[in-house]
A and B are shown apart, each in its own frame.
Chain A
Amino acid sequence: MTTLLAGRTARHPARHPGRFRGLWNASPLTYLTLVAALALSVFPIYWMIIVATRTNSVVADVPPPLLPGGQGADNVGRLFDNPEAYFAKGLLNSAIASAAVTVSTVFFASLAGFAFAKLRFRGRNALLLTIVATMMIPVQMGIIPLYMIMVKLGWQNHLQAVIVPFLVTGFGVFMMRQYADQAIPDELIEAARVDGCSTFGVYWRVVLPALRPAAGVLGLFTFMQTWNEFMWPLAVLSPDNPTVQLSINNLANAYFKDYTLMFAGTSVAILPLLVVFIVFGRQIIGGIMEGAVKA
Chain B
Amino acid sequence: MTIELRPDRKGPPPAPVRSGPRRAWRARLARLDLRGAPYAFISPFYLVFLVFGAFPLGYTLWVSLHDWELASGTRKFVGLDNYDYLLTDADFWHATVNTLGIFVVATVPQLLLALLAANALNRRMRMPTLFRIGMVAPLVTSTAAVAIVFTQMFDRDWGMVNWALGLAGIDPIAWTTSRGWSWVAIATMVDWRWTGYNALIYLAAMQAIPKDLYEAAAIDGASRIRQFWQITVPMLRPTILFTVIISTIGGLQLFTEPVLFSVGTPNKMDGGPMHQFQTITMYMYDNAFGHDRYGYGATVAWALFLMIIVFSLLNFLAVRRAGGTR
Contact = CB atoms under 8 A, between A and B. Distances in A.
B283 interface: no
Q: Which 6 A-B pairs have the closest CB atoms?
A: A142-B56, A22-B211, A199-B37, A266-B145, A165-B52, A289-B204
A148 B294 contact: yes
Nearest to B116: A33
Contacts of B34: 199
Interface stretch (B40-48, B84-92, B177-185): B40-48
Looking at A51, A60, A144, the one whose CB has the most chain B CB atoms below 10 A away is A144
A270 B140 contact: yes
Interface in A58-90: 59-60, 62-64
A195 B256 contact: no
A200 B40 CA distance: 10
Interface residues of A, number: 117
A225 to B, nearest CB: 10
Contacts of B137: 41-42, 45, 277
10 contacts: A12-B207, A25-B124, A30-B120, A34-B120, A112-B44, A114-B41, A145-B63, A197-B7, A266-B148, A288-B197
Contact of A224 (B140, B214, B260, B298): B140
A94 B99 CA distance: 29
Interface in A187-219: 188, 191-192, 195-200, 203, 205-206, 209-210, 212-213
Interface stretch (B17-25, B102-110, B149-157, B316-324): B149-157
B277 interface: no
Given A148-B294, A199-B34, A115 B42 contact: yes
Interface in B92-124: 116-117, 120-124
Given A33-B116, A137-B57, A205 B38 contact: no
Interface string B190-220: 0010001100111111011001101100000
A289 B120 contact: no
Interface of B: 1, 3-9, 11, 14, 30, 33-35, 37-39, 41-42, 44-45, 48-49, 51-57, 59-60, 63, 70, 116-117, 120-126, 128-146, 148-153, 155, 158, 160, 163, 192, 196-197, 200-205, 207-208, 211-212, 214-215, 224, 238-239, 242, 249, 253, 255-256, 259-260, 263, 268, 281, 284-285, 288-289, 294, 297-298, 301, 304-305, 308
Nearest to A287: B200
Interface of A: 5, 9-10, 12, 19-20, 22-27, 30-31, 33-34, 37-38, 40-42, 44-45, 47-48, 51, 59-60, 62-64, 108-109, 111-112, 114-116, 119-121, 124, 127, 131, 134, 137-149, 151, 164-168, 170, 173, 188, 191-192, 195-200, 203, 205-206, 209-210, 212-213, 224, 227-228, 230-231, 235, 244-245, 248-249, 252-253, 257, 259, 262-263, 266-267, 269-270, 273-274, 276-277, 281-282, 284-285, 288-293, 295
